[in-house]
């Protein structure tokens, strides 16, 4: 950019300025999103690779702004993490998920386990565990119906306070899993110290496994290591039968991806569950 001279430099700063403005605007919209009722939850089923039975679903936040259409979480979650708004958004997700579970009581989705994404930033909140506990009581949800997906940074930064919070969550009866495994950090030492029950292999290792031998080597190693540590393994982003067959052959326990189901609004997940039950 420097070599481009004066005009190039000018162009560069204008670009940054536009980007900064866009983020400011997005941040302002996001702050209105809860009140304007623009947020909702989508549920993506996980399946047992051997039996192909549904084992639960991941909760994914959706934002529909009438003026703009759907805005991707890949765009607004990182921004919310930077500004700290994720603490509020994240609690909204836990509340809505608990409320949904209470609405599903007495239906075929009565005992479904939901996996909720928790950002590292949310764990900084000293009141997090207490707030989650209150929501469980409010909606009468047993902890075994909730699982939390945590990315690797949780195990690398603020280790002492994160460990304390995670141990509290474990004591309360929640399951914890490591999300996007393999993309974040190279240290594996944390696996020994944290009370984790499941590893989710990142989609980037799955999407090209049919043609990329390195991806297959990494997947095999992760599955072997996880099983030796008594952890179960979920593969994310499974889109083809060939990928599912390979992962199953390697002993991967569960999978998630468009091959089985896209993230669904609650009524569609409900229809799927009732159609399964009725044959």
Q: Which residues bind ligand C2E (CB under 6 A)?
A: 44, 60-61, 72-74, 77, 90, 93, 117, 119, 179-180, 236-239, 256-258, 263
Q: How far is the CB of 75 from ligand C2E (least distance, A)?
A: 9
E strand map for 66-206:
69-71, 114-118, 146-151, 175-181, 198-201
Task: Check binding of 147 to Ca ion (CB under 5 A).
Answer: no
Q: Give, for 8, the enclosing helix (H) or strand (E).
A: helix 5-33
- The residue from 55, 100, 117, 207 that contacts Ca ion (CB under 5 A) is 117
Considering CB distances under 5 to 8 angstroms, the limit depending on partner class, which of Ca ion, ligand C2E, none binds residue 253? none
Burial-class residue 1 by CB neighbours within 10 Å (0-12, 13-18, 19+): exposed
Nearest partner of 66 among 29, 40, 38, 32, judged by Cα: 38
Which 178-237 residues touch Ca ion, going by CB under 5 A?
A: 179-180, 202-203, 236
Whether residue 256 contacts residue 235, with contact meaning beta carbons closer than 8 Å, is answered with yes
* Number of residues located near Ca ion, criterion CB under 5 A: 7
Select 72 or 228, whichever has its Cβ closest to ligand C2E. 72
Task: Check binding of 149 to Ca ion (CB under 5 A).
Answer: yes
Q: How far is the CB of 103 from ligand C2E (least distance, A)?
A: 18
- What CA–CA distance (Å, rounded) separates 109 from 103? 9
Nearest partner of 148 among 111, 200, 104, judged by Cα: 200
Considering CB distances under 5 to 8 angstroms, the limit depending on partner class, which of Ca ion, ligand C2E, none binds residue 119? ligand C2E
The residue written with tokens 């994914």 in the block is: 60
Helix and strand numbers, DSSP H then E, in the chain? 11, 9
Considering CB distances under 5 to 8 angstroms, the limit depending on partner class, which of Ca ion, ligand C2E, none binds residue 61? ligand C2E
Which residues share a beta bridge with 40? Answer: 62
What DSSP designation does 211 have? T
Considering CB distances under 5 to 8 angstroms, the limit depending on partner class, which of Ca ion, ligand C2E, none binds residue 162? none
Select 179 or 270, whichever has its Cβ closest to ligand C2E. 179
Whether residue 246 contacts residue 216, with contact meaning beta carbons closer than 8 Å, is answered with yes
Select 93 or 128, whichever has its Cβ closest to ligand C2E. 93
Q: How far is the CB of 221 from ligand C2E (least distance, A)?
A: 20
Select 100 or 119, whichever has its Cβ closest to Ca ion. 119
Considering CB distances under 5 to 8 angstroms, the limit depending on partner class, which of ligand C2E, Ca ion, none binds residue 258? ligand C2E
Q: How far is the CB of 117 from Ca ion (least distance, A)?
A: 5
Nearest partner of 123 among 155, 171, 79, 83, judged by Cα: 155
- What CA–CA distance (Å, rounded) separates 125 from 52? 38
Considering CB distances under 5 to 8 angstroms, the limit depending on partner class, which of Ca ion, ligand C2E, none binds residue 38? none
Select 152 or 236, whichever has its Cβ closest to Ca ion. 236
Q: How far is the CB of 1 from ligand C2E (least distance, A)?
A: 30
Count CB-CB contacts under 10 A for residue 167.
Answer: 14
- Which residues in this chain contact Ca ion in the complex, by CB under 5 A? 117, 149, 179-180, 202-203, 236
């Amino acid at each position: 950019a420097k070599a481009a001279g004066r005009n190039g430099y000018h162009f560069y700063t204008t670009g940054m300025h536009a980007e900064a403005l866009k983020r400011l605007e997005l941040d302002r919209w996001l702050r209105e999103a809860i009140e304007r009722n623009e947020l909702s939850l989508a549920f993506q089923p996980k399946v047992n690779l051997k039996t192909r039975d549904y084992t639960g679903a991941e909760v994914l936040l959706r934002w529909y702004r009438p003026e703009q259409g759907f805005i991707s979480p890949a765009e607004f979650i990182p921004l919310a993490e930077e500004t700290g708004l994720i603490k509020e958004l994240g609690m909204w997700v836990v509340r809505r998920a608990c409320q949904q579970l209470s609405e599903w009581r007495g239906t075929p989705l009565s005992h479904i386990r939901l996996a909720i994404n928790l950002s590292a930033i949310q764990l900084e909140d000293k009141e997090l565990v207490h707030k989650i506990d209150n929501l469980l009581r409010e909606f009468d949800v047993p902890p075994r119906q909730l699982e939390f997906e945590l990315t690797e940074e949780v195990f690398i930064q603020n280790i002492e306070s994160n460990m304390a919070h995670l141990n509290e969550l474990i004591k309360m009866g929640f399951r914890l899993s490591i999300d996007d495994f393999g993309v974040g950090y190279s240290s594996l030492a944390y696996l020994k110290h944290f009370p984790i029950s499941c590893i989710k292999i990142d989609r980037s290792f799955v999407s090209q496994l049919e043609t990329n031998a390195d991806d297959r080597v990494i997947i095999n190693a992760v599955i072997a290591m996880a099983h030796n540590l008594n952890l179960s393994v979920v593969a994310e982003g499974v889109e083809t039968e060939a990928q599912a067959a390979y992962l199953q052959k390697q002993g991967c326990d569960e999978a998630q991806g468009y091959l089985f189901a896209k993230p669904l609004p609650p009524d569609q997940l409900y229809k799927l569950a009732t159609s399964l039950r009725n044959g």
